[in-house]
A and B are shown apart, each in its own frame.
Chain A
Amino acid sequence: MKKRILALLLAGVMALGLCACGGGADEGEASAPAEGGNVVAIAMGSGFDTMDPGYCYEKYPALVINACYETLFKFYSNDGAAEPCLAETYAFSEDNMTLTITLRDSTFASGNPVTSEDVKFSLERVKNLKGNPSFITDTIASIDTPDEKTVVLNLTQPDSAILSKLTYSAMAILDSKVVIENGGTCAEDASTADTAQSYLDSTSAGSGMYVMTSYKPDEEIVMEKNPNYSGEATNVDKYVIKIQPDANTQMMTLAGGDIDIAMNLTKDTFAEVQGKDGIVTEAVASKTVSFLLMNMNEQYGGPVSDPLVQQAIRKAVDYAGIQAICGEGTTTPYSLIQTGFMGAKGERSTDYTNVEEAKALLAEAGYADGFEIDLTVCDLAMEGILLSDLAQKVKDDLAQIGITVNIVPQPWAAGYGDAYRDGTIGFTVMYWGIDYNDPNVQLEFMPGASVGLRAGWTAEMDPDLAALYNQAMEATDNDARTAILEQIQDGMYENGPFVMIAQAPVYLGYNDRLTGVEISDPYVVDVTLINVAE
């Protein structure tokens, strides 16, 4: 009898549980137009603890900063060059050592006009706070403000990426009067003297379309329309951003209508919501790219230091198969520059793979019977794709041409990280995330540059290619930049110790009542482009 009661109770509890789940899904458009106008709810990942632009370096704050502040330049599309935003016009000097910017008329949320003093204050504050994003100002030597609407940046060296750098969240232009009132300073000792962070964590002080009205770390961010916004605003009046990185929760709340945009879907959860009524899905290659590193130094690389072997491996990797494993949206870049960057030459054709040619190359290198080699792989994952999964695929591909690969797992913290930076790893699969949205970040893969040296690739080994590095840094005109970047991509198409394998996909799902939702590399999603369909 007792048992039967217990069983009944259990059944009851389970039924209740089911009802609760069902109820959640049926609530429907919880975020549909409320009394305060159009409210849009977003779920995004965590990993940050401040909304002070001077300290923003992580991925997700960029979404909020882009909404609440304006920068001198901005990426209006996901695969173009930086275009003027707060800047109206700009000009480089003959020697590319100074950049003169005139500002357009704009006002901060406080009503103050945006002046050159605000620009100087904001950029110098980032530099002197010495936080994570300070490196971005490294090439700015000093800032002059000849008049209210003109800013002159004096550079330490020609920097073709400077416009892209000025789009970065940390380079957002702050309302200097308000920030100074609340303890802000841009003086040399700002790293200790500045106390504006707590103010900027409670509200924003920018000229963007929205004003941040509340920020609860690891919980929720609320943004409301900026009444003093000088541009043309969208019809979304309020954003509620839930910091909720779990993909399953995002999938279920998106399907239930509790949130409108889910940004952290995984390959698996993406497949769940794909094709559901009322939900639009998007899978796009991010600029996070995985690559094979074959050390040029024979001491570490052994057989893979031979350029013929490197080419054989490049021919043997099954790019289509890797794309299938990584999921929809994955692309393999043509060469060292990811698709989506200005000047990128697009994708490497999937029929580039040719096992016969690879075998012939291997024979030419003197390894007709193949060889055995260790492939060191660390415990990290690239946007949810385990590097060890990529390693298993590479092992399988290289087995086709007679190379026996032994996968050697080594945790990042237990030696891999140091060995990778010191360039003592012979053969590995690794990934690379970009610091800022400019193709120049990829130049680090060139001979003599930081990542190049990790593969033992010195400038002397390929002086022609190495020379292009400086040219690429100096060109400021977009056409000239593209021309040099293309030359570099061709130069590394079938040459060098790196094989770019795959750009990891990012997945997005959103309610179809929204328009203008698109994955954006610099801003996660550019919320200033989103409208609610009438």
Chain B
Amino acid sequence: MLRSLERLFRSNYLFTLGVLICIFWILMAILAPVIAPYDPIVQDLSVMLQPPSKEHIFGTDNFGRDIFSRVIYGGRYSLLAGCLTVIIAGALGSLYGAIAGYVGGKVDNVMMRFSEMVLSFPSLILAMLINSVMGSSLFNTMFALVIVAWPTYARLMRSVVLSVKENEYIAAAEVLGASRMRILIKEIIPNSISSVLIMATTDLGNQILMFSTLSFLGLGSAPPTPEWGMMVSEGVDYFNKFWVAGFPGLAIFTMAIGANFIGDGMRDLLDPKLRKQF
């Protein structure tokens, strides 16, 4: 694994770039209080809408807040929301799919029809609905994203489990008298999880974009939180002051593309066959 990872770094420059971008943003997010030159939420009306300069390298917004500091802090919310959504939705979805696939029969039927029901809603609309009913906060937005994202994982996991459970070692375990719970957890899930991992890495970029979209629409965290999507939305009113929406937009772009590069690379690493199919 480690050696193939090394080979991947050498051969796949995009993957390397993706990793570097992500490490960059993670470092920025962790070290935000050290790096940021200003407090991201303190207003200073004497420097409203200043273009990038030595004092404010990304310029200032309509409250005179330093956009560079806000972008750095903003990484915390996007990264946190993206990663947590993928982890929670991935865990819930794959457990759900594994149970459905392994148990089979009527249970499978009912479980999968339910997940398809959720999936059949346009995801953005559903997320907006959940968010506006529950009120917008960071937690609620992540909750909405998880609700929308888990069925995809469930479907993928189920299809993998269906083929894995036909393997002879499963039959052997059954013959040996292992409980179904044990077979599910010790045999089936570990042997099916790799495709979920691939999907999770590719999905990370999507979730970050979804989160930004929701907060762009005013359904993310409450102002004055320095959240990227919200900063872009605040900036669109100032179309000839590119820096207000431009820099947070650039941050979303690099973060999403970095996550996608990693996803592609991981697909190469874990499942070369899958890549050829696409």
Interface pick from B104-112, B132-140, B142-150, B196-204: B132-140
Which residues in window 411-426 of A have CB below 8 A to B? Answer: 411, 413-414
Interface pick from B92-100, B152-160, B235-243, B264-272: B235-243
Known: A266-B237, A408-B135. A392 touches B45 (CB 8 A): no
Q: Hey, what's the 0/1 contact readout for A384-401 against B, CB within 8 Å counting as 1? A: 101011011101100000
Known: A325-B62, A392-B63, A411-B132. A248 touches B239 (CB 8 A): yes
B237 touches which of A268, A379, A391, A411 (Cβ 8 Å): A268
Bound Cα distance from A406 to B241, whole angstroms: 29
User: Is residue B224 contacting chain A, with contact meaning CB distance below 8 A?
Assistant: yes
Which residues in window 190-218 of B have CB below 8 A to A? Answer: 218
Counting chain A residues whose Cβ lies within 8 A of the other chain, the interface size class is 20 to 34
* A384 surroundings in chain B (CB, below 8 A): 237
User: Is there contact, CB below 8 Å, between B45 and A379?
Assistant: no
Shortest Cβ distance from A376 into B: residue: B135
Known: A248-B239, A408-B135. A391 touches B62 (CB 8 A): no
Q: Give the shortest distance, in Å, between A454 (CB) and chain B (any CB).
A: 20
Q: Give the shortest distance, in Å, between B148 (CB) and chain A (any CB).
A: 18
User: Is there contact, CB below 8 Å, between B43 and A393?
Assistant: yes
User: Is residue A479 contacting chain B, with contact meaning CB distance below 8 A?
Assistant: no
Q: Give the shortest distance, in Å, between B63 (CB) and chain A (any CB).
A: 6
* B222 surroundings in chain A (CB, below 8 A): 406-409
Known: A393-B43, A409-B222. A325 touches B63 (CB 8 A): yes
Known: A268-B238, A409-B136, A410-B135. A391 touches B223 (CB 8 A): yes
User: Is residue A272 contacting chain B, with contact meaning CB distance below 8 A?
Assistant: yes
User: Is residue B118 contacting chain A, with contact meaning CB distance below 8 A?
Assistant: no
User: Is residue B48 contacting chain A, with contact meaning CB distance below 8 A?
Assistant: yes
Shortest Cβ distance from A323 into B: residue: B45
* B62 surroundings in chain A (CB, below 8 A): 325, 389
Known: A325-B63, A393-B43, A409-B223. A414 touches B237 (CB 8 A): no
* A324 surroundings in chain B (CB, below 8 A): 45, 48
Known: A268-B238, A272-B240. A393 touches B223 (CB 8 A): no
* A388 surroundings in chain B (CB, below 8 A): 218, 223
User: Is there contact, CB below 8 Å, between B133 and A414?
Assistant: yes
Bound Cα distance from A386 to B132, whole angstroms: 18
Q: Give the shortest distance, in Å, between A477 (CB) and chain B (any CB).
A: 44
Shortest Cβ distance from A374 into B: residue: B222
* B238 surroundings in chain A (CB, below 8 A): 268
* B234 surroundings in chain A (CB, below 8 A): 386, 389
A407 touches which of B43, B224, B237, B240 (Cβ 8 Å): B224
Bound Cα distance from A157 to B132, whole angstroms: 44
* A463 surroundings in chain B (CB, below 8 A): none
User: Is there contact, CB below 8 Å, between A325 and B45?
Assistant: yes
Bound Cα distance from A180 to B141, whole angstroms: 58
User: Is there contact, CB below 8 Å, between B63 and A409?
Assistant: no
B interface secondary structure, majority: loop
User: Is there contact, CB below 8 Å, between A392 and B224?
Assistant: yes
Q: Give the shortest distance, in Å, between B34 (CB) and chain A (any CB).
A: 24
Q: Give the shortest distance, in Å, between A426 (CB) and chain B (any CB).
A: 15
* B237 surroundings in chain A (CB, below 8 A): 266-268, 384
User: Is residue A12 contacting chain B, with contact meaning CB distance below 8 A?
Assistant: no
Shortest Cβ distance from A388 into B: residue: B223
User: Is there contact, CB below 8 Å, between B223 and A407?
Assistant: yes
Q: Give the shortest distance, in Å, between A35 (CB) and chain B (any CB).
A: 38
User: Is residue A183 contacting chain B, with contact meaning CB distance below 8 A?
Assistant: no
* A409 surroundings in chain B (CB, below 8 A): 135-136, 218, 222-223
* B218 surroundings in chain A (CB, below 8 A): 379, 388, 409, 411
Q: Hey, what's the 0/1 contact readout for A276-314 against B, CB within 8 Å counting as 1? A: 000000000000000000000000000000000000000
User: Is residue A321 contacting chain B, with contact meaning CB distance below 8 A?
Assistant: yes
A393 touches which of B63, B132, B133, B241 (Cβ 8 Å): B63
Which residues in window 319-336 of A have CB below 8 A to B? Answer: 321, 324-325
* A410 surroundings in chain B (CB, below 8 A): 135-136
* B63 surroundings in chain A (CB, below 8 A): 325, 389, 392-393, 396
* A411 surroundings in chain B (CB, below 8 A): 132, 218
Known: A268-B238, A325-B63. A414 touches B132 (CB 8 A): yes
Bound Cα distance from A411 to B129, whole angstroms: 11
Q: Give the shortest distance, in Å, between A274 (CB) and chain B (any CB).
A: 13
Bound Cα distance from A384 to B48, whole angstroms: 18
Q: Hey, what's the 0/1 contact readout for A231-269 against B, CB within 8 Å counting as 1? A: 000000000000000001000000000000000001110
Bound Cα distance from A395 to B43, whole angstroms: 10
Bound Cα distance from A266 to B240, whole angstroms: 12
Q: Give the shortest distance, in Å, between B70 (CB) and chain A (any CB).
A: 13
Q: Give the shortest distance, in Å, between A508 (CB) and chain B (any CB).
A: 19
Bound Cα distance from A411 to B131, whole angstroms: 10
* A389 surroundings in chain B (CB, below 8 A): 62-63, 223, 234
Chain B CB count within 10 A is highest, among A248, A406, A409, A413, for A409
* B241 surroundings in chain A (CB, below 8 A): 268
Bound Cα distance from A408 to B135, whole angstroms: 8
A321 touches which of B45, B135, B136 (Cβ 8 Å): B45
Bound Cα distance from A393 to B63, whole angstroms: 8
Q: Give the shortest distance, in Å, between A383 (CB) and chain B (any CB).
A: 12
* B240 surroundings in chain A (CB, below 8 A): 268, 272
Q: Hey, what's the 0/1 contact readout for B25-59 against A, CB within 8 Å counting as 1? A: 00000000000000000110100100000000000
Bound Cα distance from A493 to B132, whole angstroms: 37
Shortest Cβ distance from B128 into A: residue: A411
Bound Cα distance from A410 to B222, whole angstroms: 10
* A395 surroundings in chain B (CB, below 8 A): 224
Bound Cα distance from A143 to B181, whole angstroms: 86
Q: Give the shortest distance, in Å, between B48 (CB) and chain A (any CB).
A: 7
* A325 surroundings in chain B (CB, below 8 A): 45, 48, 62-63
* A406 surroundings in chain B (CB, below 8 A): 222
Bound Cα distance from A379 to B223, whole angstroms: 12
Shortest Cβ distance from B132 into A: residue: A414
Known: A379-B218, A389-B62, A408-B135. A268 touches B45 (CB 8 A): no
Q: Give the shortest distance, in Å, between B255 (CB) and chain A (any CB).
A: 24
Shortest Cβ distance from B133 into A: residue: A414
Q: Give the shortest distance, in Å, between A425 (CB) and chain B (any CB).
A: 13
Q: Give the shortest distance, in Å, between B242 (CB) and chain A (any CB).
A: 12
Bound Cα distance from A395 to B62, whole angstroms: 15
Shortest Cβ distance from B63 into A: residue: A392
Bound Cα distance from A389 to B244, whole angstroms: 15
B residues whose Cβ falls under 8 Å from a Cβ of A: 42-43, 45, 48, 62-63, 132-133, 135-136, 218, 222-224, 234, 237-241
A-B pairs with lowest CB-CB distance, top 10: A414-B132, A407-B222, A396-B43, A392-B224, A321-B45, A411-B132, A388-B223, A409-B136, A392-B223, A324-B45
Instruction: Offer 11 A-B interface pairs, CB within 8 angstroms, sorted by A.
Output: A248-B239, A268-B237, A268-B238, A268-B240, A272-B240, A325-B48, A396-B43, A407-B223, A409-B223, A410-B135, A413-B132
A residues whose Cβ falls under 8 Å from a Cβ of B: 248, 266-268, 272, 321, 324-325, 379, 384, 386, 388-389, 391-393, 395-396, 406-411, 413-414
Given contacts A388-B218, A395-B224, 12 further A-B contacts (CB under 8 A): A268-B238, A268-B241, A272-B240, A389-B63, A393-B43, A396-B63, A407-B223, A408-B222, A409-B218, A410-B136, A411-B132, A414-B133
